[in-house]
Structure 1
Amino acid sequence: MIRSLLLLFFLVELALDAAGQSAGAAARVEHLPAFPSRFVKARQIDVWLPEGYEQGKTYPVLYMQDGQNVFDPKTSSYGVAWEADSILARLSQAGQTRPCIVVGIWNTDLRFREYAPAQPYYALPAAFRDALAQERPGTPLSDEFLRFVVQELKPYIDRHYRTRPGRADTFVAGSSMGGLISLYAVLEYPRVFGGAACLSTHWPLSLQQNRPDFTNAMLTYMDRKLPRRHRPRLYFDYGTTTLDARYEPHQLRVDSLMRAHGYDATHWLTRKYEGAAHNEAAWKRRFAVPATFLLAPKPARRKPGQ
């Protein structure tokens, strides 16, 4: 009788332990409101931790622009979110991506200035810069924004979470102007970021004019900055309706430059999505493609003699 009771007690304890571990290992989003900075305005940061996070593993990190649109439709600017957490959980369970941490960086009212790549901007013809200033007043703050991400936010994330901090496990992603700043991040900090996903990249920079001026400046900048060794993984895409209808001629020129620099399918992917518009719903539908491109499981290392 006593043995039976002890066995029953032992089994109950095991069940309770398993339940506790399961609850503790559930995926969740942690909110860091008003995250301070010496370089830019304070803003909210959302950190998604995947299922099983408490089990002691370490994880690659994906930093995503426009963080309010990344996880929750209730906080999204237009009522639709990418739902990157659900998509990444599904991909990870299917073995298509590595489990990762996602850091959603909310934007501010200075979004255009923080996301406009400064070096190509200052290489623009003066007349085009003047026209942009009428449309969107103020000069770029993108260098300051990237200092915030690299010098303040990333060190905090690496100290407080179980990350793999090296460039091979650190990625950045965004759409529209967020695509531009994500590309700029990789090229300005090639030792920090190992890849970028640039969805519906807003090459014209202007919303009113579809001119080649900024693309010209970006191509000159990229020609100088694209690494030939330790190449990042770069993903681009575009749709064919609404604002995305402007992008194909610009993207084709970028693609030509990528080929000229010897980038192949291992390090570069561009996709065209017929009928896709310039909005969160479209980016949500195809987010699995860049996620898989950046976060695909690494091939197993061969043992000596194999």
Structure 2
Amino acid sequence: MIILAATPIGNLGDVSRRLVEVLESAETVVAEDTRTTQRLLKALQIDNRPRLIALHDHNEKQRAAELAALAAESDVVVMSDAGMPTVSDPGYALVVEAVAQGVTVTAIPGPSAVLTALAISGLPTDRFTFEGFLPRKPGERRSALRALASEPRTMVFFESPSRLADSLSDLGTAFGDTRRIAVCRELTKLYEEVRRGTASELVAWAEGGVKGEIVVVVEGAPRRAVSADDALDQVQELVASGIRLKDACAEVAAATGLSSRELYQAALAARTR
């Protein structure tokens, strides 16, 4: 089988007993960076020396079929440098191929930068969306943020420290400067830090220079109080701009709290008048 193994995102003490037991007997470990995995095995004082195979963004598609076939014969442990494989890390293509080949896929749960940042952010945790890394190019990043401006769920992003100030500035432009934001830095490490504030407040801090691994948690858009008629007008405007009726209803429903199904039915009824 394929065993997706979560590894520490900072503090070595977060390693689970189950992970240690699996690594002590593993024959094959597929790793994002074999050097990082070797250091982890040494730090955990594991004497076992499994076969290490590199799997990263540049070779995953080419090696997925081969590794899935290998996992059909014996267990293959898959590890990223930190956190859970497949979550903004290599492993997704391998899982897809394993499922296609009928190979069992399981996981050893453990540390997650996404859930850790969300939990300590002080922002709503009942509904959230993980958006991964924002685009590097300014124009693409701004476009991506504009598309999320009406997202009502709490949003979680990864970001490079070198781009943090620019991304926060773009976020403030797209979302306005009233949204609550938490920037979580170096989670579980010695210098863990959480900065909370609005985009403009956090830009002023980030422009001074920030180091380490960054997770940004952003408050979702407030729902707008609108009448059913106004909501239907919004749906019709979106449809007129080229958006499918179903998608337009879903977007307006998310922003207003109204029923997407009822909006859809009202829009269909309006077409027959």
TM-score by length of 2: 0.29
